Amino acid sequence: MGSEHPRHNEGLADLEHRAFELTRPSRQLVPFVFAFPHSGRVYPESFVASSRLGATALRRSEDAYVDELFAASASLGAPTIAARFPRAFLDVNRAPSEIDPEMFDGVLRLPVDPTSARVNAGLGVIPRIVRDGAEIYRGKLPAREAEERIVKFYKPYHAALSALIEDTRREFGMAIVVDCHSMPSAAAVPDVVLGDRYGMSAAYALMRGAERAFEQSAFTIARNAPYAGGYTTHLYGRPMLGVHALQIEINRALYLDEERIERAASFANVQARIAEALDALTKVEQALVRGPRSTRWAAE
């Protein structure tokens, strides 16, 4: 299939005006909210100019086209939110304090967590490297860059996601956040990894239902390994308060040419199988409201 190259012709002001795509069905039919924090492929001109990397290298960190893979989520009557900015520019699946002060020239006026392992690895909320370990920037960034990205992009994204979750919980008495990602292929990695932070972010019935849904669509499944869930599942997953959060990772080898960052010939088939799985997954809500036996949320 043809590729869609990243867009470099959008300024920061334009991207700030539309930092994410938010869709709401005319009538929400299910208590699900689907989020795509890493599918953004609008690369601001100023960001590209500050990087030492070429277009393809910058895209190594993208969960490329995952928003398209999960397009059926909208047709099932669920709201969706997708970041338009790329993960290499800003990672909204990190805590806002996960910032490396050594990346900036000047004093940061933001809380900083110096103990974060992700920051030390170069993968904080403003990443220093892309997936393959290549340094993103030519030099240090102005300190104001950190605050501007948090205020203008990070906070609006999470404010919008929080509103979707609260509206859903108010309408249905519960909300289920599905945070959608892709993962680099490897010999030992299955087709799909489902993460619920070892039972802390979602009810057991939801995890088990998700496993069955994807297995029925011929995907191989792993639970919480090697990805148990990121900041989004940690922040929003509160099963005892009626908010469940599940992370889904799709193996890129299934649908993507990982070197060229292009949709593979198998893309449409994988998209259709995911649509079948989501149709089954959205019926799991019935198990979540039957009583305590179905909603125990400790890991097996």
pLDDT at residue 132, rounded to an integer? 81
Q: Are 19 and 81 in contact (CB under 8 A)?
A: no
Span 74-94, pLDDT tens digits: 999 999 999 999 999 999 999
Largest CA distance in the chain: 56
* Amino acid (1-letter code) at residue 48: V
pLDDT at residue 115, rounded to an integer? 85
Q: What is the pTM of this model?
A: 0.92
Is the backbone peptide bond immediately before 190 cis, with ω within 30 degrees of 0? no
Q: Is the pLDDT of residue 186 over 90?
A: no
- The number of C-alpha atoms within 13 Å of 83 and in the hemisphere containing its C-beta is 31
Mean pLDDT of the 166-195 span: 94
Mean pLDDT of the 125-144 span: 94
Q: Is the pLDDT of residue 2 over 80?
A: no
Q: Which CATH class is domain 12-285?
A: alpha beta
CA distance 56 to 252: 16
Mean residue pLDDT across the chain: 91
Angle between helices 204-216 and 267-281 (to 10 degrees): 140
Mean pLDDT of the 220-229 span: 96
Q: Are 211 and 277 in contact (CB under 8 A)?
A: no
pLDDT at residue 3, rounded to an integer? 42
What are the tokens at 13?
């002001």
